[in-house]
């Protein structure tokens, strides 16, 4: 991060997937970077193309990718990123657990609803049966009342005056 360091030997901190052999270093006389580990933009023809700087200007045979990697690795702090990734993984795990819990609760609710529907259907069936029984009983009572009124009219009027029915 400091600009006062000499470009002759700068330690390079590569991220894990870009590790290079331990012999990687920058020298004024040429690049000793292993070309199989890190691709280079420097041509080996010695033509002094755009990737090479002039020796007089202070720019040496520095691999541009290595230089960019060094600048990026120094400018980007990986600790907050690592914490962010860890928090994201933790949140993802919590979300998955809640999703499974919700699925379990939904299945439980479906089972309870099925049981409640069965109980409700049984209750409706029982209510209809009770209503049918009450209607039959009322019909039977009315029939007996009419028969009694016809067979015993004096006694019926006497009892009816003493105990009036709620209908009249």
Residue 164 lies in a domain: no
Please name the residue that has the structure tokens 């499974």. 100
Domain of 34 in residue numbering reads as 7-75
pLDDT at 26 over 70: no
Q: Do the beta carbons of residue 10 and residue 71 sit within 8 Å?
A: no
pLDDT of amino acid 10: 59
pLDDT at 29 over 80: no
Same domain, 106 and 120: yes
Q: Are strands 30-31 and 26-27 parallel, antiparallel or unpaired?
A: antiparallel
pLDDT at 59 over 80: no
Q: Which of 43, 75, 107 is the last residue of a domain?
A: 75
Burial 5-20 (b: 16+ CB within 10 A, else e): eeeeebebeeeeeeee
Kindly indicate the confidence band of residue 84, based on its pLDDT and cuts at 50, 70 and 90: confident
């Amino acid at each position: 991060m400091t600009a006062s360091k000499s470009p002759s030997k700068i330690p390079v901190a590569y991220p894990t997937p870009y590790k290079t052999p331990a012999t990687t270093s920058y020298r004024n006389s040429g690049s000793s970077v292993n070309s199989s580990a890190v691709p280079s933009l420097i041509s080996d023809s010695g033509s002094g193309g755009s990737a090479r700087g002039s020796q007089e200007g202070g720019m040496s045979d520095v691999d541009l990718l290595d230089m960019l990697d060094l600048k990026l690795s120094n400018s980007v702090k990986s600790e907050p990123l690592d914490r962010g990734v860890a928090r994201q993984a933790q949140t993802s795990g919590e979300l998955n657990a809640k999703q499974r819990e919700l699925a379990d609760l939904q299945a439980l609710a479906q089972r309870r609803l099925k049981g409640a529907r069965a109980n409700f259907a049984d209750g409706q069936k029982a209510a209809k049966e009770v209503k049918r029984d009450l209607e039959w009983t009322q019909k039977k009572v009315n029939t007996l009342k009419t028969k009694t009124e016809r067979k015993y009219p004096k006694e019926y009027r006497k009892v009816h005056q003493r105990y009036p029915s709620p209908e009249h």
